[in-house]
Amino acid sequence: LASIKKSHNSYKSTYLRAVLDNDSKSAIRALRGVVKSGNALGLNVDFYQNELHRFLKENKKFIKPKESITKKIYPKDLIRTSQNRFKKLRTKSSTLRLDFTKNISKKDVKQFKLYDKKNKIYRYVFDIKAILPKKIPSARIKGIEKIKIAQFNKQKMRVVFSNSSKLNIGMETEDKRLILTVKNFSVAKKSKKRYDFSNKVVVIDPGHGGKDVGAIGAKNVYEKEIVLAVSKRIEEQLRKKGIRVYMTRRSDRFIKLRKRTEFANKKRADLFVSVHANAASKRSSKYRELKGVETYFLSASRSKRASRVAQKENQKDMEAMDYFGKKNFLHFLNREKIIASNKLAIDVQQGVLARLNKHYNGIRDSGVREGPFWVLVGAQMPAVLVELGYITNKREAQNLTSRSYQKRIAQGIAEGIVRYFTKN
C-alpha cells in the first residue's frame, strides 16, 4: 500500500509538471497513473478522471482503443441473409421504440443485468437478434446517464442502459416493434440537495477601469464597461444563493493588479474571479472572426495563446511584474491551489456554456486554459480569470452589450461557482 501511495503522489506531481510544461502526452500518462493508483487506494479521483477525459478529447491521437462490452462489427462482415434488421428508433419520454424489418418476439431478446463495482454503475443489457445499419442510432432518455447501441456479434445487436442508480426496465413486443420502458423514471432523477452558502465569500474582480479601458472592440465597445456590468450581475446572482460577495470596483476607476488580490486576501475570500473580455490581435487574419468563452487559471504556461492573452491583460500594470518579480512568480504557484483553481475553472466554464447553450446558438467553447496572469498571482485562494468573449467580434460585442445576454452569462458563472462549492 505504501508503495502505491508513493507512486500515486509521484504521478500527481508528474501531472502538474506536465501541465506547467504544456506536455499533454506526459499529462495523459500521469493522469492514467493517478486514476489507477487512486482507485486502488480507494480515493476519490473524479477530478483527475475529468482531467484525463479533457486531455484525451483535446489530444485524440493519444487515445488508446477502449475495451468495451460492445464489440464493433462492420456491416460488410455480417451475413446478409434472412436476418431481422433494425429500421428506426424513437424516444418518447422514458420509452425507446425500436422498429425492425420483421416481426420480433420476446424470444428474440436476451436480457440481463451487470453491476460495475469499480465505477458503481448498473448496466441493463438487451441482446436482440437483429442487425444494425451502418449508421448506428443513438438514444437518450433524460435522467438516464447513458444508453449505448451497438452490434454485438454477427447475429445480435445490443442495447445497454447505464445508470448509477437501479432501474426497472420493462419490455414489450408488438409485431415488428420492440418497446423498452424505464418504469421507475422519477426515481432515476437526482434529487436536489439544499446547501447553505452563508459562510462562503467570493471576490468578483471586474477587469481594468479608469484610465485603463482594456480592450476596445467593434462599435467602440470598451472592455472595462462590459466587465463591470456583467460583474454586478454575477454579484446579484451569487447573493441570491446566499453567498457573500465583494467587488474590487463598482465604478469606473483604475486599480493596480496587485491591489485586487490583496483585497481578496484581506476579505479572506474563498474564491477570486476576475472578469475580462477578449480581443483578437489586429495583426491576426481572423481579427473579426475570433470568438468564444474561455476560463484561465494561473500557471507558468508559455503556450502562444496563453501568452498573448496574458500579455494583453498584464500590459497596463508593469508595476505588478516588478513587484512579483519574474523569479518569484513560480514561488506563488502552489500545487493544491493550482488544482483547486483548475477545478474552479472547469466548473465556471461548464456553467457558462450550459447556460448560454440553453438560450443561444453558435456559442463557442474555447475551453479551460492556463496562463501567467499577474492579476491571479497574489491570490491566496483558488482564482480564475474569465474571458467572456471577443469584443472584436461584431456578434459577441453585440451580445455582451445586451442586458439579457449579460444576465445569462452572469447566471452561468454564478452556477459554476455554486457547483464548485457543492462539490468541494
- Number of C-beta neighbours around residue 364 at 10 A: 16
Q: Which three cell numbers stand for residue 74?
A: 462492420
Task: For cell 486576501, name the residue.
Answer: 265
Q: Put residue 175 in one of left, alpha, beta given phi > 0 → left and psi -120 to 50 → alpha.
A: left
Q: Measured from the CB atom, is 169 or 228 closer to Zn ion? A: 228
With CB under 5 A as the contact rule, which of the stretches 147-155, 213-221, 245-253, 363-371 interacts with Zn ion?
213-221
Task: Compute the distance between CA of residue 271 and CA of residue 258 in angstroms, rounded to an integer.
Answer: 16
CB of 191 to Zn ion, least distance (A): 40
CB of 212 to Zn ion, least distance (A): 9
Q: Which three cell numbers stand for residue 253?
A: 476607476
Chain positions 242 to 281 lying near Zn ion, rule: CB under 5 A, are 276
Task: Compute the distance between CA of residue 324 and CA of residue 21 in angstroms, rounded to an integer.
Answer: 21
Rule CB under 5 A: choose which of 38, 206, 207, 389 binds Zn ion.
207
Task: Compute the distance between CA of residue 32 and CA of residue 38 in angstroms, rounded to an integer.
Answer: 10
Q: What is the DSSP string of 113-169?
A: EEEETTTTEEEEEEEEE-B--SS------TT-SEEEEEE-SSSEEEEEEEESS---E
* Residue with smallest beta-carbon separation from Zn ion: 276
Q: Measured from the CB atom, is 158 or 260 closer to Zn ion? A: 260
Q: What is the DSSP string of 323-372?
A: HH-TTGGGGG--HHHHHHHHHHHHHHHHHHHHHHHHH-SS--EEEEEEE-
Q: Measured from the CB atom, is 158 or 276 closer to Zn ion? A: 276
CB of 200 to Zn ion, least distance (A): 26
Q: Measured from the CB atom, is 214 or 389 closer to Zn ion? A: 214
CB of 318 to Zn ion, least distance (A): 15
Q: Measured from the CB atom, is 130 or 310 closer to Zn ion? A: 310
Taking a C-beta distance cutoff of 8 angstroms, is the pair 332, 377 a contact? Answer: yes
CB of 312 to Zn ion, least distance (A): 7
Task: For cell 491583460, name the residue.
Answer: 313
Helix (H) or strand (E) holding 228: helix 223-240
With CB under 5 A as the contact rule, which of the stretches 105-113, 160-168, 288-296, 307-315 interacts with Zn ion?
307-315
Task: Compute the distance between CA of residue 414 and CA of residue 348 in angstroms, rounded to an integer.
Answer: 8
With CB under 5 A as the contact rule, which of the stretches 117-125, 138-146, 203-211, 355-363 interacts with Zn ion?
203-211
Number of residues that bind Zn ion (CB under 5 A): 4
Task: For cell 506526459, name the residue.
Answer: 26
CB of 224 to Zn ion, least distance (A): 8
With CB under 5 A as the contact rule, which of the stretches 177-185, 204-212, 279-287, 314-322 interacts with Zn ion?
204-212
Rule CB under 5 A: choose which of 206, 209, 214, 372 binds Zn ion.
214
By the rule CB under 5 A, 408 interacts with Zn ion? no
Q: Measured from the CB atom, is 276 or 343 closer to Zn ion? A: 276
With CB under 5 A as the contact rule, which of the stretches 1-9, 112-120, 184-192, 201-209 interacts with Zn ion?
201-209
Q: Which three cell numbers stand for residue 119?
A: 465505477
Rule CB under 5 A: choose which of 205, 313, 396, 415 binds Zn ion.
313
CB of 400 to Zn ion, least distance (A): 13
With CB under 5 A as the contact rule, which of the stretches 18-26, 92-100, 283-291, 305-313 interacts with Zn ion?
305-313
Task: List, in sequence order, every residue forming a beta bridge with 222; answer none if it has no partner.
Answer: 216
Q: Measured from the CB atom, is 209 or 214 closer to Zn ion? A: 214
Q: Measured from the CB atom, is 183 or 253 closer to Zn ion? A: 253
Q: Which three cell numbers stand for residue 87?
A: 429500421
Taking a C-beta distance cutoff of 8 angstroms, is the pair 227, 388 a contact? Answer: yes
By the rule CB under 5 A, 378 interacts with Zn ion? no
Taking a C-beta distance cutoff of 8 angstroms, is the pair 353, 365 a contact? Answer: yes
CB of 279 to Zn ion, least distance (A): 8
Task: List, in sequence order, every residue forming a beta bridge with 273; answer none if it has no partner.
Answer: 204, 384
Q: Measured from the CB atom, is 18 or 255 closer to Zn ion? A: 255
Q: Measured from the CB atom, is 149 or 257 closer to Zn ion? A: 257
Query: Would you tell me which residues interact with Zn ion (CB under 5 A)?
Result: 207, 214, 276, 313
